[in-house]
């Protein structure tokens, strides 16, 4: 296991331990508030924007972790193609919108945040397509927040084997 993946795993383990059990309500930080708004914009963008416009939400380089392996994208073109593949999968299932069912955001540093999310995706008839869960590592850059690492689950869709993203 590479050192970078070990560090990422340690960060995610630390954050997840902070979410276990009953935790009293705490005031959210500015970074957590900004990332919450960022994630809402990111989610809404998939149904309304081109892959090039959605790609601006991602940091380059960026890594995506699936159960089948890790993909590192070092060029903006790689990120655009990745986003297009997600959008193509969503079009194939008549995707219309998503609603977050759970969002947990933890500031690790004012410029580094980890977010764990659950969402339900709906089609044009307001029918459920899939329930998803993802974890994001976000970094604040000069251009604003960017997704540096995306950890995806595998979802079952109507009539489709698997879907990442």
Which DSSP string corresponds to 99-112? EEEEEEEEEEETTE
Q: What is the pTM of this model?
A: 0.77
d(C-alpha 78, C-alpha 108), whole Å: 28
The CB-side HSE value for 102 (13 A sphere, CA atoms) comes to 10
Beta bridge partners of residue 62, listed in sequence order? 73
Supply 135's token pair.
């974890």
- Phi, psi values for residue 69, rounded to 5°: 155, -175
Secondary structure letter of residue 126 according to DSSP: S
CB atoms within 10 A of CB 102: 9
Beta bridge partners of residue 160, listed in sequence order? 157
pLDDT in tens, the chain (165 residues): 444 444 444 444 444 444 444 444 568 899 999 999 999 999 888 778 999 999 999 999 999 998 889 999 999 999 999 999 989 988 998 999 889 899 999 999 999 999 999 999 999 999 999 998 999 999 999 999 999 999 987 555 554 434 445
CB atoms within 10 A of CB 56: 16
Judge contact between 94 and 86, C-beta under 8 A.
no
Measured N-to-C along each axis, helices 30-48 and 76-92 cross at an angle, to the nearest 10 degrees, of: 60
pLDDT of amino acid 25: 53
pLDDT of amino acid 5: 43
Supply 159's token pair.
């009539």
């Amino acid at each position: 296991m590479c050192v970078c993946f070990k560090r990422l795993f340690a960060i995610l383990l630390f954050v997840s331990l902070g979410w276990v059990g009953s935790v009293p309500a705490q005031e959210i930080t500015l970074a957590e508030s900004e990332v919450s708004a960022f994630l809402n914009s990111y989610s809404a963008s998939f149904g309304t924007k081109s892959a090039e416009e959605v790609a601006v939400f991602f940091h380059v380089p960026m890594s995506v972790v699936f159960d089948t392996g890790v993909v590192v994208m070092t060029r903006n073109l790689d990120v655009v193609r990745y986003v297009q593949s997600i959008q193509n999968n969503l079009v194939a299932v008549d995707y219309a919108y998503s609603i977050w069912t759970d969002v947990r955001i933890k500031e690790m540093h004012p410029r580094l945040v980890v977010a764990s999310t659950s969402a339900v995706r709906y089609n044009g008839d307001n029918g459920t397509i899939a329930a998803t869960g993802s974890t994001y590592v976000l970094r604040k850059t000069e251009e604003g927040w960017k997704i540096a690492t995306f950890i995806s689950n595998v979802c079952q869709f109507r009539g489709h084997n698997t879907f990442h993203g």
